[in-house]
Structure 1
Amino acid sequence: MTQQSMPLSGAQAGIWFAQRLDPGNPVYNAADRIDIHGPLRVDTFERALERCLAEAEPLRLRFTDEPAQYLPEYDSLRGCLTVVDLRGEPDPETAAREWMAADLRTPVDVVTGRLSRHALLRLTGEHHVWYLRAHHILIDAYALSMLVSRTAGIYTALADGLTPGAGPFGSMAPVLAEEEAYRASGRYARDRAYWLDRLGGAPAPAGLRRRGSACSLCGSPRPHAFLLPRAPSRPPVSTARRAC
């Protein structure tokens, strides 16, 4: 059966063209680091992550050689989590930072590459680091925070023997339909006329010719933190989000 192709949103199209013009640039990689302190059930965490990713349609999107996207008919989420044991390293924290930095610096092809990745780095028996990286064509920083919160909620429910509630994620189809309707509306025509007038006399837009060096990577992680009630099913969690 042929995959049903969908157009890109305006934001996605800009990233698609930019990455295709400069495929060796990792600047569109976005990542979060989540420090989990306490007794973590790794198998339960992996189940929670798989369920969350199954709900989050944007993270399952694939892209083609033309500016288009589609949802695979079958996309197994089993094995989506890489577990890395760093307890034997002389300095597990430094080893974790180097591992994450190397992954974040790796360019990702938007057509053939691995657009998202999840790893659980084990520093001690009760200190794990959840590293999640996604290409900006899939998701932004706010959506990454939603992914973290949803996975934590599913984990808590599963660990307590409960059924997780409904997730917050929607489908791409309504988003694309809303953008298409806007572009066909009188409001879009008025907005376009306004900005053409407002920017009259501005320098000519830059062309697509590649020039200069690749953009630099995002800055160092920006610390954020939250604590969950300390119990076997709810280990305290602190986060450090990369400022992308």
Structure 2
Amino acid sequence: MLETVQSVRWLPLTPAQFDFWEEFSFHPHQPVSTVAHRITLRGEIDEPGLLAALEQVVAETDVFTIQFQLPDNDDLPLQRCNPQLRPRVRLIELQQTDVAESMMQVDIERQLNLLSQPLAVVWLIRFSPTHYTVYIRAHHIIIDGFGMALIEHRLAELYRARLQKNHR
């Protein structure tokens, strides 16, 4: 199991994060800088194994718990990990993919307040026992496309390990 380190101290933003902070500051009511990925799975799916793997990935992904604050002296924004902000994997059962498409689009277009909202969501959408979609959305200030690819790779690794364990 990976060991994670969570900081309870407030830390400064990185230069790359500061660009996204400025974007938020100038356009607080616009849904910008959202990173969303989805994985469509078809075939024989071990739902409990997939759900457990997804929950472990979320537990390991500390960037999903980042929170921001502006100090009282109006200095530069600060950040820290807050485990209470870790998203829960939401299992959604739907019949139609167009409903899921609409839900994901609404979520992507939702404005995110960097000071007051959780910045990531994770959904497992079940259309049938042989058709699922994994949906992960976060603000770009906490993750980029490469980070999402790492999360997807880790999910595949954990799910594969669970499948192999169950077939022994």
**Fold in common (TM above 0.5):** yes
Q: Which amino acid aligns with 1:83?
A: L
2:23 alignment partner, SS class: helix
1:43 alignment partner, SS class: helix
Higher strand share: 2
Aligned pairs for 1:1-244 (under 5 A) are 3-66=8-71, 67-72=77-82, 74-75=83-84, 77=86, 80-87=88-95, 92-161=96-165
Structure 2: gaps (5+ residues): 1-6, 72-76
Check whether the contact 2:65–2:85 (CA below 8 A) recurs between aligned residues. Answer: no
1:84 to partner: Cα distance: 1.5
Q: Which amino acid aligns with 2:81?
A: L
* TM-score, reference length from structure 2: 0.83
1:168 maps to none
Check whether the contact 2:37–2:136 (CA below 8 A) recurs between aligned residues. Answer: yes
1:127 to partner: Cα distance: 0.7
1:15 alignment partner, SS class: helix
* TM-score, reference length from structure 1: 0.59
CA distance in 2, matches of 1:84, 1:139: 24
Structure 1: gaps (5+ residues): 163-231, 233-244
1:76 to partner: Cα distance: 7.4
1:116 to partner: Cα distance: 0.6
1:124 to partner: Cα distance: 2.4
How many pairs align?
A: 156
For the pair shown, which has the larger CA radius of gyration, 1 or 2?
1
Q: Which amino acid aligns with 2:92?
A: V
1:160 alignment partner, SS class: helix
1:83 to partner: Cα distance: 1.5
Q: Which amino acid aligns with 1:104?
A: I
Check whether the contact 1:19–1:110 (CA below 8 A) recurs between aligned residues. Answer: yes
Kindly provide the CA deviation profile for residues 46-83 of structure 1, in whole angstroms up to 9, marking residues without a partner as x. Answer: 221222223223222211124110122x4475x71112
CA distance in 2, matches of 1:131, 1:145: 13
1:3 to partner: Cα distance: 3.4
Kindly provide the CA deviation profile for residues 176-214 of structure 1, in whole angstroms up to 9, marking residues without a partner as x. Answer: xxxxxxxxxxxxxxxxxxxxxxxxxxxxxxxxxxxxxxx
Percent identity over paired residues: 26
1:85 to partner: Cα distance: 1.2
Check whether the contact 1:20–1:110 (CA below 8 A) recurs between aligned residues. Answer: no
1:69 alignment partner, SS class: strand
